[in-house]
Structure 1
């Protein structure tokens, strides 16, 4: 089987300059003339750092989502050396950059960012996605000052019946369970307001102890700095009891919208980015730090155009496990031609009862779970029932049994 995933129409860009954070390049689509951010990852280094699954997971998650307050995926492709992802370009810089230059931010500015990030998180959570690495570095501003979530490298789908247990993310912003994102938002809020993190430690062990056990403390003159409503909101985001944490209750984001601190926020205008941001990045200055170290990045200073494949019909069985995985799973994507889709399948309950939900398959009518198998009812108008025995492929669900309706009623 050849690497057919790379034989689609070429997606071509012109280089416009080095990107804001060292991770990306600014490029222009040759046909549409639209400016984007191009993230490119060297395959060999990706394998060496054991990051193949993370990159593929990020690529798949990004194909699923599209929201005004997220850095959306527009194109994806690869050549023999690199994986490429083309994303919305954010020229306003990240919150870390602005925080380091402003010491601390005004309350109304922080409120605006918290509100927009809340909407972004609510969108992700509705799709059963938890970001897991929310921090100022991963919130980007566009040229009009709107906040966007980015960097889904360790984001995952979550299953409400099976809480997440793996350790992931940046330690200082790390919470627990699938409500971690709201905790992390509280930590960001604290840092933007007071220019320091709420929990600190000289080692990861000390930092973990602080996060788990130390009380949330504020500057002595805190009420001269921010409103009481602001502090109440911050305390509720940083609540260790998940049942009481803002955003985690049965009403979800509605509890956030109803909090007194957000009484002047026009939520409907935020969703469409019609609200005016209280801070507009200076378009005449570079909103990034050109001195960022690149040694830990997966990027190479290679040409930005995908090279012709040396052997486009290569047998994938001849490749290493990791290279084959990238060929098979890091697929071409073009948002102008392809619909968004999800690769996630929620693990089934262990039950023999019929599920009322409809399957997303075009020929499947309904399904039930029996002994950990998925049973699907398929219309056989254009398929002989014996043909189902040929539906076998390593990348497909394996067919165990096939029965006609007459078999079941006999």
Structure 2
């Protein structure tokens, strides 16, 4: 009798995805109120990254709209150089993103370990990231937080953009809220006179400069000093710059770090900015079709014999976690939820990339999603094919709007990280 009672319940793989579908493996990352760990799908045996976010902490930090925004944006995008969403679901305590697994670590980890990277490696990464940005901007999305920490390598050495927590759709109206990591912010953000997707190209320039020379182009001991440097200081090169970077490479860096957005590389309308960047002499060695098909051998391959992430995350999970993650059945009664918990319950919907049609939740983007996906644009899809795109309009946005604007990014939602001088959103 006892054996019958203790027999594990069979897993319903035909139903909505949930944590019972996955084997929980090692912890590889940590955020303000969530963690990232490696998981394996029990049926397909495929490995993924599981990002999970504690709902109570999310409510406390007033970040519910951001989590829903990220969930919806990730359903919309699919590109070889983006960490794409595979599954989304929730339980009573957490919201879960199941994402492409990147075993090569982030560029901050490699930058701190190596000091700088060879020019040909940086050129390869910049080309891949520029391809991803061109795609996002065509979809009407700006990332707003491009930095080495948010660029992940797969085990072969291909670069991918991640962390869409403060990414937003953009239109003709410019945003004014200060958001992102200060050292990588474009001057127009700090000027608070309005900005659009041009800021992503500036941030890419800061990353590229830092990767080549091992230091950022604009620095300051205080936030006000850093603001002044980004806004006013002349772009300078290290004394050994010519040993580390070719003249054409410096032209690209200078073009990306141009304060005048009408002259900044990547910023011409209708995708012409990205095409102009592709044609630059620095990228002459790059076969763009092969690059976007992930057919080129990356010049930097992460060492798979070593952990390409901070091992303390795993140790902390083992020793300090008082409520370790485990699959739990959902409670039947969901009637007494707070307004914020109800919003997550209703709007952080389930997603399964193998069963569900991709869609945009933003009506103004419906004309884009059918023409700008990885498969239809000629790019090699970064994941198995998804069903045909769903073009039905869903006008339900966060707080009833078509998209989340920068009003959720007020001063109260930004904290100073004194360790690296970054301004980071609480979420």
TM-score (norm. length: structure 1)? 0.79
Q: Is the CA contact 1:36–1:86 (under 8 Å) kept in the aligned structure 2? A: yes
Give 1:307 shift. Answer: 1.6
SS of aligned partner of 2:307: coil
Structure 2 distance, partners of 1:174, 1:269, is: 31
Superposed CA deviations along residues 342-400 of structure 1, whole A, max 9, x for unmatched, are 111339xxxxxxxxxxx9448x9xxxxxxxxx9xxxxxxxxxxxxxxxxxxx9799xxx
Say yes or no: does 1:19 pair with 2:37: no
TM-score (norm. length: structure 2)? 0.76
Report the counterpart of residue 362 of structure 2 in structure 1.
Answer: 344
Report the counterpart of residue 97 of structure 1 in structure 2.
Answer: 109
SS of aligned partner of 1:346: helix
Say yes or no: does 1:77 pair with 2:89: yes
Structure 2 distance, partners of 1:32, 1:345, is: 34
Report the counterpart of residue 272 of structure 1 in structure 2.
Answer: 293
Say yes or no: does 1:168 pair with 2:188: no
Report the counterpart of residue 130 of structure 1 in structure 2.
Answer: 142
Report the counterpart of residue 349 of structure 2 in structure 1.
Answer: 331
Distance 1:232 1:47, change over 3 A: same
Aligned partner (choices 227, 238, 245) of residue 226 of structure 1: 245
Q: Please show how residues 5-404 of structure 1 align to structure 2 within 5 Å.
A: 8=16, 10=18, 12-20=21-29, 23-159=35-171, 161-175=172-186, 176=188, 177-178=195-196, 179-250=198-269, 251-291=272-312, 302-311=323-332, 314-315=334-335, 318-346=336-364, 360-361=391-392
Structure 1 distance, partners of 2:322, 2:302, is: 28
Structure 1 distance, partners of 2:70, 2:338, is: 21
Structure 2 distance, partners of 1:18, 1:294, is: 9
Q: Is the CA contact 2:17–2:351 (under 8 Å) kept in the aligned structure 1? A: no
Kindly report structure 1 stretches of 4+ aligned residues shifted beyond 2 Å.
7-11, 20-23, 290-295, 299-306, 359-362, 394-397
Superposed CA deviations along residues 71-104 of structure 1, whole A, max 9, x for unmatched, are 1111111111111110000000000000111111
Structure 1 distance, partners of 2:52, 2:311, is: 18
Q: Is the CA contact 1:238–1:245 (under 8 Å) kept in the aligned structure 2? A: yes
> Higher Cα Rg: structure 1 or 2?
1
Superposed CA deviations along residues 238-270 of structure 1, whole A, max 9, x for unmatched, are 000001100002312111111110011111111
Q: Is the CA contact 1:13–1:304 (under 8 Å) kept in the aligned structure 2? A: no
Report the counterpart of residue 385 of structure 1 in structure 2.
Answer: none
Report the counterpart of residue 367 of structure 1 in structure 2.
Answer: none
Unaligned runs of 5+ in 2: 1-14, 189-194, 366-389, 403-427
Q: Is the CA contact 1:37–1:86 (under 8 Å) kept in the aligned structure 2? A: yes
Structure 2 distance, partners of 1:9, 1:96, is: 32
Structure 2 distance, partners of 1:9, 1:34, is: 14
SS of aligned partner of 2:52: strand
Structure 2 distance, partners of 1:334, 1:169, is: 29
Structure 1 distance, partners of 2:121, 2:247, is: 16
Give 1:291 shift. Answer: 3.8
Give 1:300 shift. Answer: 6.8
Give 1:27 shift. Answer: 0.5
Range 22-31 or range 338-347, more displaced: 338-347
Count of equivalent residues: 344
SS of aligned partner of 2:117: coil
Structure 2 distance, partners of 1:49, 1:344, is: 25
Range 260-269 or range 221-230, more displaced: 221-230
Q: Is the CA contact 1:75–1:86 (under 8 Å) kept in the aligned structure 2? A: yes
Distance 1:16 1:301, change over 3 A: farther
SS of aligned partner of 1:85: strand
Structure 2 distance, partners of 1:79, 1:198, is: 44
Give 1:202 shift. Answer: 1.3
SS of aligned partner of 2:363: coil
Give 1:36 shift. Answer: 0.5
Q: Is the CA contact 2:18–2:90 (under 8 Å) kept in the aligned structure 1? A: no
